[in-house]
Amino acid sequence: MPDAPATLIALDWGTSSLRAYLLDAAGRVLGRRESAHGIRALPEGGFPAAFAEAVGGWPEALPVLMSGMIGSRSGWREAPYAEAGPAGVGLPELAAELTDIADLTGRPAWIVPGVSARTEAGPDVMRGEETQVVGTGLTAGTVALPGTHSKWVEVREGRIAGFRTSMTGELYAALSRHTILADTLSPPADAAEDAAGFAEGLAAARGLQTPGDLLGAFFSIRARALFAELAPGRTGSFLSGLLIGAEIAANAPEGAPESAPIRLIANAALAARYATALTAFGLASQTLPPDIAAAGLHAVARAARLTGETA
């Protein structure tokens, strides 16, 4: 039995996975569970069954705080978006706009709101990433969250000042499976070939003169392969480098000195990929674990006084 008593159950509930944490008053993890029961892969019994499995055996009186796609329109109950207007969004707004779902869970439980923002392209939204960013301590700078829909978040004065989304991961999947490139792309034979192909793709991304050039660069992969200018085993990695490089060119600040690296929140393999790409663009980075969501949920819970303590 741990010396410190548990004060909070935190759930990071996304599209493809569910992570549950039992936390003490200091935010230390006393227990951790993970399952593949994201909102698109629920077990028989749906949300109630997945929830019961995640928190079963943990004290029923503890408050439960959730973040992620569980609060989306396809989730258990839709939670509103906190708008990152001119003043941005901080802990006070997130804590004030929790959605109560105790009637669904049979326990004291809430969902953290997502965050919306306006960009030059129109409205943008995120769910779950805001909690991970809170977990960083909201130190000023850029936080990048690579994935299916990568997020680039700007933090200023302890608040989320704005963000942008890039469909990098989903676009890679679509291009590699459902276009003419599906007949061209091949997996690398080894890590060296993977690294070489990725580096070539990054170089191609750095050479793009206008955003529209990216569309032609996709087809150039096939042409390069046809004329033996790109080894078959490097094609898939080339596409990865091209997409990630274009994402960085579009979203990263002009410079990130060593004293203010771009913080990466992703699994080890994906974070390493992005760290390599950022280095190629002359940008420093620092990798943080995805489990940082637990720290973010703890901070929101304290701000909302769910645990009887204040932030």
Query: What's the CATH code of the domain at 106?
Result: 3.30.420.300
pLDDT reading at 15 higher than 60: yes
Is residue 146 situated within a structural domain? Answer: no
Specify whether 57 is located in the same domain as 176: no
Specify whether 128 is located in the same domain as 69: yes
Specify whether 39 is located in the same domain as 87: yes
Over pLDDT 90: what percentage of the chain?
A: 91
Q: Which domain holds residue 102?
A: 6-135+293-303
Buried b (16+ CB within 10 A) or exposed e, 117-129: beeeeeebbbbbb
pLDDT at 107: 96
Is residue 163 situated within a structural domain? Answer: no
Q: What is the pLDDT of residues 163-190, one digit of tens each?
A: 999 999 999 999 999 999 999 999 999 9
Specify whether 176 is located in the same domain as 280: yes
Specify whether 279 is located in the same domain as 176: yes
Over pLDDT 70: what percentage of the chain?
A: 96
Residue spans of alpha helices (H) in 56-96: 91-96
Specify whether 123 is located in the same domain as 217: no
Specify whether 253 is located in the same domain as 283: yes
Distance CA 256, CA 282 (A): 8
Quote the pTM value.
Answer: 0.92
Specify whether 43 is located in the same domain as 117: yes
Q: What is the pLDDT of residues 51-86, one digit of tens each?
A: 999 999 999 999 999 999 999 999 999 999 999 989
pLDDT band, residue 257 (cuts 50/70/90): low
Is residue 26 situated within a structural domain? Answer: yes
Specify whether 100 is located in the same domain as 192: no
Residue spans of alpha helices (H) in the chain: 46-55, 91-96, 102-105, 129-135, 168-178, 191-206, 213-226, 235-251, 268-280, 292-303
Specify whether 220 is located in the same domain as 245: yes
For the chain, how many structural domains are there in total?
A: 2
pLDDT reading at 1 higher than 70: no
Helix, strand or coil for residue 221? helix
Distance CA 293, CA 201 (A): 32
Distance CA 117, CA 113 (A): 13
pLDDT band, residue 311 (cuts 50/70/90): low
pLDDT band, residue 259 (cuts 50/70/90): low
> Distances in Å between the alpha carbon of 306 and those of 109, 273, 283, 300?
10, 38, 39, 9
Specify whether 216 is located in the same domain as 203: yes
